[in-house]
Structure formats: structure tokens, C-alpha cells
Structure 1
Amino acid sequence: MPLMIDMTDETDELTPEAFQLVEELLNLTVKKEGKDEDSEVSVTFVTNDRIQEINHEYRDKNQPTDVISFALEEMGEDEIKITGVDMPAVLGDIIISVPRAREQAEEYGHSFERELGFLAVHGMLHLFGYDHMTEEEEQVMFTKQKEILNEYGLER
């Protein structure tokens, strides 16, 4: 069963092709990472104002950003994992700023599709526990991103 993806476009700017691109890239990321395909993820496409609100509320950074991920499978110290028969694992939420993706595509000199794909893969890898707080972590995460995007055909 493929990854269950709940996508919401609060900007009303994305095309069906953009939704398909994100869906295919997230499924490829799950496959490449050897993760359980019987999982669920939520992807919300928002404005810069909305992502700034989220960034301020949850990360105490009062500025827009390109993508934010909230992993739901991370277990706290005293938490108990609840599972059930035939229940998909809920990976978490990915929130992408569509205007920021457009700005960065122009800034980096590649297509909006390439930037949108990059942000989706980046967000998904965060849900799998990857980070880029150190040079070593960044090297691992960015190499994985590049491999997935290149395999899909979204090279820079």
C-alpha cells in the first residue's frame, strides 16, 4: 500500500501536477529510506504569513521560512507508543511556504518544481529523524536529498 498523503493547499496556487510531483517524491523517499510504506503524512502548502506564524509559535522564530516538519513518531522519555492492527504509522506534518519556494527557485536559478520537490523531500527526511545542525548531519541529509531528487529527474 503506498504512503497515505493528505495534502492541503491553503494558497490555491498549486496545480494537479505539483500535487503529483510531491506525492511521487514522498513515496520515493519512503522507498529509498526503507521505511514502512503503510504510513501517513500530512502536507500543507501555506503563505509566508502563515508559515511565519507557525515558526513563531512553535520555534520562537518570528520570520517566514521555507519548510517546517513536525514528526509525530518521535517518542518522548515517558511516552508509550500506541499501535493497532491495520493502522498506518502517522509520520507527521510537513508545512511548505509556496511563496518562499517560488522566491528560492528564482534565487537558486532552477524551476519552481525543483524547489517544491526539494522542500518536500527535505521535510520528509526531517520526519525520519535527519537534521542539519552539524556539518556531518548536513552532509548526510543533503546527500540523501540530492540522490532522491536526481533519481526522480529533478537535478539542479
Structure 2
Amino acid sequence: MAQTVQFHSADKTLRFSNKTRLKQFINSLFTLEKKSLSSIHYIFCSDEYLLQMNKDFLQHDYYTDIITFGLSGKGEPIEGEVYVSLDRIKDNATQHATTIERETLRVIFHGALHLCGYKDKKKEDITLMRRKEDYYINRYLKG
């Protein structure tokens, strides 16, 4: 059976201990959210790479830490691509006085939660998204 969670490098490589465990945990996140996962591809990249994607696909001219593309139709098992700027993660970790590991988990889980249907445009949606991120980060770190 093909891996449902895959990590790829565009122009940066994720340095993270025990990637296999992290992939298994991402699978369990979808199970806990009662969502069927077909596949999710995380593509790790630089600020410049993601800025170009933001311009090309979303017509946004600013840096972001993550762009998530849902590729499955309604009612189908979830399929998606999640582009993650490792440069932004590093800067955000410093800015928010947290570890790079914790910020990496936040962004990775954020992308998965978007594919599960969570939004982050309105204040109440952002609050729920942060609660979910924290829940999964703490659950993962407790191991």
C-alpha cells in the first residue's frame, strides 16, 4: 500500500527526528477528526519558493508559512498538497518565543486541519484552529 503521508523537498529539506512517527501521527489526526485520508503530500521549501506560489496561485504578494491545496472532490477521501516554508517556521518560532520543533508541528498540523475542513479567516475560526493545533501538538509531544 502506498504511503498516505509523504514528505518532499522543493528547495529545502525538513530536518526532524523520527519522521516516520510524525507521518503515523498525521494519519491518526485524520482518524480522530473522523476523516478518510487518501493522501497528503507535504512539500518543504523556502520563503522565496512559497512567495512565488502565493503570487501564482492565490494572487497574494506576501510571505506565508503554509499553503494548502485540497485536491479531492466532495465526499471523497481527502487528498491534498501542503507547501511549507521552513524559513517562515524558523522566523515564527523566534517571533513567538517557541521551539522550531513546536512551530514545525503547528504548521504541519495546521495544513492537515485545513484539509479536514477547518478555516482560519474569521476570529472564531482562528480560535478553534489554534485550539486544535495545540491539542495535536501536545498529544504528539506526550508521545
- Sort the Cα spacing of 1:141 and 1:33 in 2 relative to 1 into closer, same or farther, 3 A: same
- Whole-angstrom distance in 2 between the partners of 1:105 and 1:24: 24
What is the aligned partner in structure 1 of residue 121 from structure 2?
A: 133
Q: Residue 151 in 1 paired to residue 139 in 2? A: yes
- Sort the Cα spacing of 1:36 and 1:48 in 2 relative to 1 into closer, same or farther, 3 A: same
Matching residue's letter, 1:7: F
Q: Residue 116 in 1 paired to residue 104 in 2? A: yes
TM-score with structure 1 setting the length: 0.79
Question: In percent, how many aligned pairs have the same letter?
Answer: 23
CA drift of 1:55 comes to: 0.5
Name the count of aligned residue pairs.
Answer: 142
Matching residue's letter, 1:51: L
What is the aligned partner in structure 2 of residue 30 from structure 1?
A: 30
Equivalent residues in 2 for 1:1-156, closer than 5 Å: 4-15=4-15, 17=17, 19-20=19-20, 22-37=22-37, 39-75=38-74, 89-153=77-141
Structure with greater Cα Rg: 1
Could you tell me whether the CA contact under 8 Å between 1:70 and 1:94 is conserved in 2? yes
Deviates more, 1:43-52 or 1:100-109: 100-109
Identify unmatched segments of 5+ residues in structure 1. Answer: 76-80, 84-88
CA drift of 1:135 comes to: 1.7
TM-score with structure 2 setting the length: 0.85
Deviations 1:111-143 (A, max 9, x none): 111111100000111111110111221222221
Identify unmatched segments of 5+ residues in structure 2. Answer: none
